């Protein structure tokens, strides 16, 4: 049995002290331990940014690629070896900004992967520019008059696009977050977990203190129905005074693996390729 402490890698952590990422890392370790899989059968894929460094800090396979491009790498890795548990760790800029197109289309593709977005509403690694989720009016060096664009609402967007598992977590509630991540991994299909993550260096508005006043669990009293799409839209719009966390929307949908027949076959990676017989093809017409 793997324990959370076994999951730590030898790589030195390069985040700021007090960063919300530590909460997410601990939650990830706990959910991986609870998952009960061999670490060699788990792959973490990331793009660029502080969130993208997370895979280096755990003892699972890691592909740390390009800014915004984690999703295409991850989905194809899953196609190549459907037995891998594939988890993506990305930031709001990485996933919703540079990688927006991949976010949209991989929800449509619906492979059985889990996307964890460390959403600190700011570009941390490049030192403080606005991200697609930055609150309007927030001033930065790039936006000295304050952000004028409408923010992008990841949960609404994911529900509208047909994602089967849409959740919001909070880096300050590690127990709840690790449960969410585990549920996301267990969900068969694309799972989005947008994690509210205070950036102690550059986001002076959405701080731990700010969140502590408004965050509540969506299913506190056990009456919330995550299959109700309209209710889910309503909940995903709540922001500011009341911010719900938890599984906002969850329905079962056919996955890419089921639709392509991959699920019933041996993983592509295990196929013998040395002696593929194409003689039959050489008797056919091509034009």
Partner 1 sequence: MNMNNELTIKIAGEAGQGMQTVGGALCHVFKDSGFYIFANQDYMSRIRGGNNFFQIRISNKQLYTLRQKSDIVVALDNKSVDMHRKDISKEGIVILDKKRFNITGEDSAFFDIPMYHMAKEIGGDEKFVNSVACGFLAEMTGVDFRYVDKVLRTAFSDKKKDIIEKNIEAARAGYDFSINNFKKDIFKIKKGDAKDTLLMTAIDAVGLGAIKAGCKFYSAYPMTPATNLTNIMAHYAKRFNMVVEQAEDEIAAVNMVIGASFTGVRSMTGTSGGGFALMAEGLSLAGMTETPIVIYEGQRPGPATGFPTRTEQGDLDFLISAGHGEFARLIFSPGSIEEAFYLTVKAFNMAEKYQIPVIIMSDQHLADSYRNVEIFDPDSIKVQRYIVSKEESKNVKNYKRYQITESGISPRAIPSWIEDPIYADSDEHTEEGHITEDAWIRTMMVEKRFYKKMAGLSGEIEKPKVFDVEGADCVLIGFGSTYGVLSEMKDSIPDKNIGYIHLPQVWPFPASDMIELLKGAKKIIVVENNAGAQLARLLKRETGIKATRSLLKFDGRPFNVDLLIQQIGQEI
- Which stretches of the chain bind partner 1, using CB under 8 A? 9, 11, 14, 39-41, 43, 45, 48, 53, 55-56, 59-66, 69, 71-77, 79-81, 83-84, 101-102, 104-105, 109, 260, 262, 265, 268-271, 273-279, 281-282, 285-287
Whether residue 248 contacts residue 159, with contact meaning beta carbons closer than 8 Å, is answered with yes
Indicate the Cα dihedral angle 187, 255, 96, 54, nearest 10°.
Answer: 50
Measured from the CB of residue 81, what is the shortest distance to partner 1 in angstroms?
Answer: 5
What are the residue ranges of helices labelled H in the chain? Answer: 20-35, 70-80, 92, 100-109, 154-161, 174-186, 208-214, 229-237, 256-260
Measured from the CB of residue 273, what is the shortest distance to partner 1 in angstroms?
Answer: 3
Structure tokens at 104: 């949209």
Measured from the CB of residue 262, what is the shortest distance to partner 1 in angstroms?
Answer: 7
Nearest residue (CB) to partner 1, 145 versus 271: 271
The vertex-217 CA angle with 211 and 223, nearest 5°, equals 155
Distant-in-sequence, close-in-space partners of 166: CB < 8 Å, separation ≥ 6: 155, 158, 159, 192, 232, 236, 247, 248, 249, 250
Measured from the CB of residue 84, what is the shortest distance to partner 1 in angstroms?
Answer: 6
- Kindly provide the residue ranges of all beta strands, DSSP E only, lying in the chain, ordered along the sequence: 42-46, 61-64, 85-91, 114-119, 165-170, 191-196, 215-217, 243-250
Nearest residue (CB) to partner 1, 61 versus 219: 61
Nearest residue (CB) to partner 1, 11 versus 227: 11
With CA atoms as reference, report the closest residue to 183 among 218, 229, 231: 218
Nearest residue (CB) to partner 1, 100 versus 215: 100
Measured from the CB of residue 147, what is the shortest distance to partner 1 in angstroms?
Answer: 26
Nearest residue (CB) to partner 1, 104 versus 215: 104
* Cα distance between residue 194 and residue 12, in whole Å: 26
- Quote the DSSP letter at residue 98: I
* Cα distance between residue 66 and residue 92, in whole Å: 14
Measured from the CB of residue 50, what is the shortest distance to partner 1 in angstroms?
Answer: 12
Nearest residue (CB) to partner 1, 160 versus 268: 268
Helices 70-80 and 100-109 meet at what angle, rounded to 10? Answer: 30
Whether residue 167 contacts residue 192, with contact meaning beta carbons closer than 8 Å, is answered with yes
Nearest residue (CB) to partner 1, 16 versus 215: 16
Measured from the CB of residue 132, what is the shortest distance to partner 1 in angstroms?
Answer: 18
């Amino acid at each position: 049995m793997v324990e959370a402490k076994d999951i730590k890698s030898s790589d030195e952590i390069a985040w700021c002290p007090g960063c919300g990422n530590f909460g997410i890392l601990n939650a990830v370790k706990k959910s991986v331990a609870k998952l009960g899989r061999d670490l060699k059968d788990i792959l973490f894929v990331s793009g660029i940014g502080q969130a993208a460094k997370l895979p280096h800090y755990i003892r699972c396979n890691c592909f740390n690629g390009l800014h915004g491009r984690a999703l295409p790498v991850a989905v194809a890795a899953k196609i190549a070896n459907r037995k891998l548990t594939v988890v993506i760790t990305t930031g709001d800029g990485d996933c919703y900004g540079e990688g927006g197109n991949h976010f949209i289309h991989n929800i449509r593709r619906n492979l059985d992967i889990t996307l964890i977005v460390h959403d600190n509403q700011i570009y941390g690694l490049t030192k403080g520019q606005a991200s697609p989720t930055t609150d309007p009016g927030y001033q930065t060096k790039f936006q000295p008059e304050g952000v004028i664009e409408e923010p992008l609402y990841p949960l609404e967007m994911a529900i509208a696009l047909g994602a089967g598992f849409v959740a919001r977590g909070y880096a300050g509630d590690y127990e709840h977050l690790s449960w969410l991540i585990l549920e996301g991994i267990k969900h068969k299909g694309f799972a989005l977990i947008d994690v509210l993550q205070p950036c102690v260096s550059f986001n002076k508005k959405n701080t731990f203190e700010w969140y502590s006043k408004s965050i509540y669990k969506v299913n506190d009293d056990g009456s919330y129905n995550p299959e109700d799409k309209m209710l889910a839209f309503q909940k995903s719009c709540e922001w500011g005074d009341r911010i719900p966390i938890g599984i906002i929307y969850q329905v079962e949908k056919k996955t890419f693996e089921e639709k392509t027949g991959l699920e019933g076959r041996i993983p592509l990676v295990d196929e013998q390729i040395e002696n593929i017989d194409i003689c039959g093809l050489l008797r056919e017409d091509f034009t």
